[in-house]
């Protein structure tokens, strides 16, 4: 009865020593530990293969694929995720990055003083005027959609835009996600927080050293910013392996929790959340997943694997529901159903404490095969 969910227990083969530092370019909610995609890439693909993640997030699958000599193809509707995927799938050289940073800095000091008075109060309360001027200059100058060098610099900036040590640009706050502006306002008042005077160019140069870009050899990849239900640039039967975790909880609002990072990308959190899939209804979820799986079936080659990581929700084994109601009717074959018990350090929803909603500590990994 293989197709009746034979459940295997599993511990992610993880060794932080193996994790490339580029994974931490910018924090992202519900990100994979790199050991997870690495395991499946090594098991189910070979060098030169095309590996797709249609919900690529911070591009964990894509970076691991490119590091292992596969072509990593990422897609995510969230512009922040798209930026990170673009950066990690097409790394510029350290030389080009330093030269671009030097040019930008020269231009900044040669131009008129930037007026910060027009900037929203919510942004002004976070940064020292000196830092904010540099940020606004860079925000206007970096053409991250068109140029890889600019995309990598923009990724580094969103990675350090808020945090709680000298390597970050804002008043002291968590790096993982942005709290609401009202919460921050009250917090600043209560603890009399002072805005630190940080030099963006110097911090970026230091940060760049951390990634040892000259030592990395990477296959080039691709990044799309489309709805996962229609990744139209991908040809039928063109992909050798898909590894992904679709959005699955009510808890994560990628726009709202990244409103500061999105400000730098000139995007509004509300618009981003409006574009991303979000529901509490199992029926709507199943409808969405059926559409996604139809599209993934279209692009995947016959006999190749689709690895789906799905978090269980209270009282429901969501992965089993997805298998029964969405994947099985489409003719996928169930190869494995793996139960991955997650320690709280890894599950990003822990940051909400009691508000973690209906998320449990279990992720399930469905390994499916296209006939
Ligand atoms: C669980 S996260 C993936 C995290 C990723 N595995 C990583 O390592 O960072 C799910 C992703 O789905 C994206 N997303 C939500 N709705 C989408 C849609 N309709 N089409 C494409 N991406 C979508 C979100 O922006 C989010 O990045």
Quick: pLDDT tens for 302-338: 999 999 999 766 656 889 999 999 999 999 999 999 9
Lowest mean pLDDT among 72-76, 112-116, 316-320, 366-370: 316-320
pLDDT of residue 71 exceeding 60: yes
Q: Is the CB of 224 under 6 A from ligand 1?
A: no
> Ligand 1 center to residue 4 CA distance, Å?
28
Over residues 133-162, the mean pLDDT reads 97
Residue 278's pLDDT is what? Answer: 85
In our burial notation (b when 16+ CB lie closer than 10 A, e otherwise), range 31-53 reads bbbbbbbbbbbeebbeeebbbbb
pLDDT of residue 18 exceeding 50: yes
pLDDT band at 55 (very low <50, low <70, confident <90, very high): very high
pLDDT band at 361 (very low <50, low <70, confident <90, very high): low
Distance CA(164)–CA(173), nearest Å, equals 5
> Ligand 1 center to residue 89 CA distance, Å?
17
pLDDT of residue 1 exceeding 60: no
Q: Is the CB of 32 under 6 A from ligand 1?
A: yes
Cβ(76)–Cβ(82) below 8 Å: yes
Residue 301's pLDDT is what? Answer: 98
Over residues 220-238, the mean pLDDT reads 97
Distance CA(57)–CA(159), nearest Å, equals 14
- Global pTM? 0.92
Q: For ligand 1, pick from 77, 80, 230, 340 the residue to mutate: most ligand atoms within 8 Å of CB.
A: 77
For residue 60, give the ligand 1 atom closest to its CA: 8
pLDDT of residue 12 exceeding 70: no
Q: For ligand 1, pick from 34, 51, 55 the residue to mutate: most ligand atoms within 8 Å of CB.
A: 55
> Ligand 1 center to residue 181 CA distance, Å?
24
Over residues 187-210, the mean pLDDT reads 96
For residue 247, give the ligand 1 atom closest to its CA: 10
pLDDT band at 30 (very low <50, low <70, confident <90, very high): confident
Q: Is the CB of 78 under 6 A from ligand 1?
A: yes
Over residues 96-110, the mean pLDDT reads 97
pLDDT band at 96 (very low <50, low <70, confident <90, very high): very high
Q: Considering Cα of 284, then 287, then 289, then 291, what sign does the dihedral take? A: negative
Mean pLDDT of the chain: 90
Judged on CB neighbours under 10 Å (0-12, 13-18, 19+), 115 is exposed
Placement of tokens 């910060």 in the chain: 116
pLDDT of residue 6 exceeding 70: no
pLDDT of residue 176 exceeding 70: yes
Q: For ligand 1, pick from 85, 276, 285, 296 the residue to mutate: most ligand atoms within 8 Å of CB.
A: 276
CA torsion angle for 65, 150, 23, 75 (degrees, to 10)?
A: -50
């Amino acid at each position: 009865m293989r197709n009746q969910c034979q459940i295997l227990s599993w511990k992610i083969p993880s060794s932080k020593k193996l994790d490339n530092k580029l994974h931490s370019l910018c924090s992202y909610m519900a990100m994979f530990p790199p050991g997870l995609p690495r395991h499946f890439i090594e098991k189910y693909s070979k060098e030169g293969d095309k590996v797709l993640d249609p919900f690529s997030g911070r591009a964990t699958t894509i970076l691991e694929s490119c590091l292992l000599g596969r072509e990593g193809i990422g897609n995510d509707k969230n512009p922040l995720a798209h930026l990170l995927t673009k950066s990690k799938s097409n790394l510029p050289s350290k030389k080009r990055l330093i030269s671009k940073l030097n040019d930008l800095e020269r231009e900044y000091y040669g131009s008129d003083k930037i007026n910060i008075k027009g900037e929203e109060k919510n942004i002004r309360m976070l940064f020292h005027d000196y830092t904010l001027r540099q940020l606004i200059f860079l925000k206007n100058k970096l053409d991250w959609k068109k140029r890889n060098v600019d995309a990598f610099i923009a990724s580094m900036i969103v990675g350090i835009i808020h945090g709680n040590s000298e390597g970050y640009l804002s008043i002291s706050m968590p790096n993982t996600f942005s709290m609401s502006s009202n919460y921050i306002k009250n917090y600043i008042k209560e603890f009399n927080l002072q805005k630190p005077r940080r030099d963006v160019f110097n911090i970026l140069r230091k940060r760049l050293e951390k990634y040892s870009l000259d030592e990395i050899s990477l296959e080039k990849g691709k990044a799309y910013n489309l709805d996962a239900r229609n990744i139209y640039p991908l040809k039928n039967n063109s992909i050798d392996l898909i590894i992904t975790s679709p959005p699955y909880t009510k808890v994560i609002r990628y726009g709202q929790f990244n409103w500061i990072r999105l400000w730098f990308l000139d995007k509004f959190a509300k618009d981003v959340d409006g574009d991303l899939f979000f529901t509490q209804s199992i029926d709507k979820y199943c409808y969405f997943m059926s559409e996604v799986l139809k599209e993934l079936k279209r692009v995947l080659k016959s006999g190749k694997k689709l690895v789906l990581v799905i978090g269980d929700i209270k009282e429901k084994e969501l992965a089993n529901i997805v298998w029964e109601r969405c994947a099985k009717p489409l003719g996928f074959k169930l190869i494995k159903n793996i139960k991955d018990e997650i320690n709280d350090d890894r599950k990003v929803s822990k940051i909400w404490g009691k508000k973690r909603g209906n998320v449990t500590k279990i992720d399930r990994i469905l390994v499916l095969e296209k006939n």
